[in-house]
A and B are shown apart, each in its own frame.
Chain A
Amino acid sequence: MSGKLAGRNAIVTGAASGIGKATAMRLAAEGATVFCVDRDEEGLAKVVADLGEGHLGYPADLSLASSCLQVVAAALDHWDNRIHILVNAAAILIREPTLEHSRRAWDLTFDVNLKAPFLLSRDVVASMIESGIGGAIVNVASVEAVLPGRGHVAYTASKGAITMLTRSAAFETAPYGIRVNAVSPGVIATAMNADLRKDPESWSEMLAGTPMGRHGEPEEIAAVIAFLASDDPSFVTGAIVTADGGWTLH
């Protein structure tokens, strides 16, 4: 297979829908072999069928630490200890008023949005250092880390946390040929906001403040992720690449 990512093995979480799915498709199109992870078994099976031969699906609930450990172990086993790329795209957003935000929602959000990327990155980095092959990790943050939205405080805090996980992990792993970057999406049409898009008026009102005047598509974030996962940005690490149609310019 030709392409920028030919011969690369990539784990993509949240691969059954949205940004994760678009990323799995894009990385495969560029030649990578993709190990797709999601808790949605049905959606995952469809994506893997679309990807075609050689790619894998691994159903897992990443809110469980044990599942995170199993994901990396299974991928290392399958690929003979060679993982070149990890994309942490899986995330949840729980809407609860901040004054009543529950501990359950807070903890679950941090388990999926921070602890899972932490555990997956940690074990993937350890394998990259051991095998000496280097690699690229791409996290999905959010512009909400700097320009917050209302009504989902745990999500926003978790995205601020993943931003600094990215920068500090990049700092430590740089000597080993490992780059750690993040994309920080603005408003992207995914299942996370499907309910909001049912009201076209308020949706377009919200987007009126975006210089590009529209929402983004998952494929537009996948394109940035594919770039960060490739060798092209070989001098780029710890970067938070904003992809938001200009949302945070003002």
Chain B
Amino acid sequence: MTETVPRGEKRVAILTGAGRGIGRGIATTLAERGYNLVVTSRTREDLETTRELVEGTGSEAVVVVADLKDPQTPSRLLRAALDSFGRLDGLVNNAAVNIFAPFWTQPEGNLDEIIATNLTAPFFLCQAAANHWVNKGLTGAIVNISSAEDTIAYPDQVPYASSKGGLLSMTKVLALEWGPLGIRVNAVSPGSVDTEMTPEIYRKQAPKLMPIGRLGTPEDIGACVYFLLSDDAGFVTGTALYADGGYMLQ
């Protein structure tokens, strides 16, 4: 741990979308490196498994089942962190949804759902965390999980790409405005990561498709998140770290 945390004391972060995939990898990586976590998603069962994995590292996790579209969720998560651990050091906005369809057949509801979860919810969580830090005279760090799709296009995902483009710009403006307050805001933009949702064909094609020769792991993304939350990244704000195995170079 870094010098600002007394020996034996853990940092605390809120992590959304913590029940599966990249979120679970972020949870275990942060836990191994000394974070206690407030983990949230819509599914208790998934979160309980994440909690067990976190506890296996010697850290603690508090489970909050919540719908990120609910305007009360940011204050609930903040309260969970303060009630359980008495502090908040970081926020990781990882939860996201995607719905695939050709652009010209997309129902209006797809855009609403995706923007609400992938962009509106992260903003109001950032706002709640920042208000907490500012009101208490504290500082903190935020990492938003974006996507290579904040920059490059894939088929059938116009609403998702829009949400990630917006998240990247939001990350920049928050970093600009909150820099003087001691709050750093960055993004990690993953490429293809191997999760339970990854189609088998991706795994087969990975050696050819990815310059690094493999798909990413959730723990790869967790390591990037850990770095951006840490004091080692103390001069880093408003940036996106593309963790894509070199895919975007092609």
Residues of A participating in the B interface, judged by any CB pair closer than 8 Å:
65, 98-99, 101, 103, 106-107, 110, 114-115, 118-119, 121-123, 125-126, 129, 144-151, 153-154, 156-165, 167-173, 238
Q: Give the nearest-CB partner of B173 in chain A.
A: A148
Instruction: Give chain B nearest CB distance to A198 CB in angstroms.
Output: 24
CA distance A151 to B176 in the complex (A): 10
Contact A168 to B103, CB < 8 A, known contacts A98-B174, A98-B177: yes
Q: Which residues of A contact B158 (CB under 8 A)?
A: 118, 165, 168-169, 172
| Interface pick from B32-40, B149-157, B224-232 | B149-157
B170-214 interface bits toward A, Cβ cutoff 8 Å, 1 = contact, 0 = none:
101110111000000000000000000000000000000000000
What string of 1s and 0s marks CB contacts (under 8 Å) between B141-166 and chain A? 00000000111111111110111111
- Which B residues touch A147, using CB under 8 A? 172
Given contacts A65-B108, A99-B130, A148-B176, contact A165 B169 (CB under 8 A): no
Q: Does B168 contact A (CB under 8 A)?
A: yes
Q: Are B120 and A160 in contact (CB under 8 A)?
A: no
Q: Specify the main secondary structure of chain B where it touches its partner.
A: helix
B106 surroundings in chain A (CB, below 8 A): 118, 122
- Contact surface of B with A, Cβ cutoff 8 Å: 71, 102-106, 108, 111-112, 115, 119-120, 123-124, 127, 130-131, 134, 149-159, 161-170, 172-174, 176-178
Nearest CB of B to A114, in Å:
6
- In the complex, how many angstroms separate the beta carbon of A205 from the nearest chain B beta carbon? 18
B124 / chain A contacts, CB cutoff of 8 Å? 103, 106
* Complex Cα gap A185–B170 (Å): 18
Instruction: Given contacts A99-B134, A164-B166, list 13 more A-B pairs with CB under 8 A.
Output: A98-B174, A101-B123, A110-B115, A148-B169, A150-B176, A153-B123, A154-B123, A160-B166, A160-B167, A164-B161, A167-B153, A171-B153, A173-B104
- 20 example contacts (A-B, Cβ-Cβ < 8 A) are as follows A98-B174, A98-B178, A99-B131, A103-B120, A103-B124, A118-B111, A122-B103, A129-B104, A146-B169, A153-B123, A160-B150, A160-B167, A160-B169, A162-B162, A164-B166, A165-B161, A167-B152, A169-B103, A171-B155, A173-B104
Q: Nearest chain B CB to A194's CB is how many angstroms away?
A: 22
Q: A164 touching B165 by the CB < 8 A rule?
A: yes
Q: How far is the CB of B98 from chain A (nearest CB, A)?
A: 12
Q: Which residues of A contact B156 (CB under 8 A)?
A: 172
On whether the beta carbons of B168 and A122 are closer than 8 Å, the reply is: no
Contact call A114/B169, Cβ cutoff below 8 A:
no
Q: Which residue of chain A has its CB nearest to the CB of B135?
A: A99
Bound state CA distance, A158 and B163, in angstroms?
A: 9
Bound together, the chains give a CA A127 to CA B105 distance in angstroms of 11
Residue on A nearest B169 in the bound complex, by CB: A160
Residue from the list B153, B164, B177 in contact with A170, Cβ < 8 A: B153
Closest residue of chain A to B152, judged by CB?
A167
User: Is A161 a contact partner of B153 (Cβ separation < 8 A)?
Assistant: no
B162–A168 touching, CB < 8 Å: yes
For residue B130, which residues in chain A have a CB less than 8 angstroms away from its CB?
Answer: 98-99
Partner of B169, one of A118, A159, A168: A159
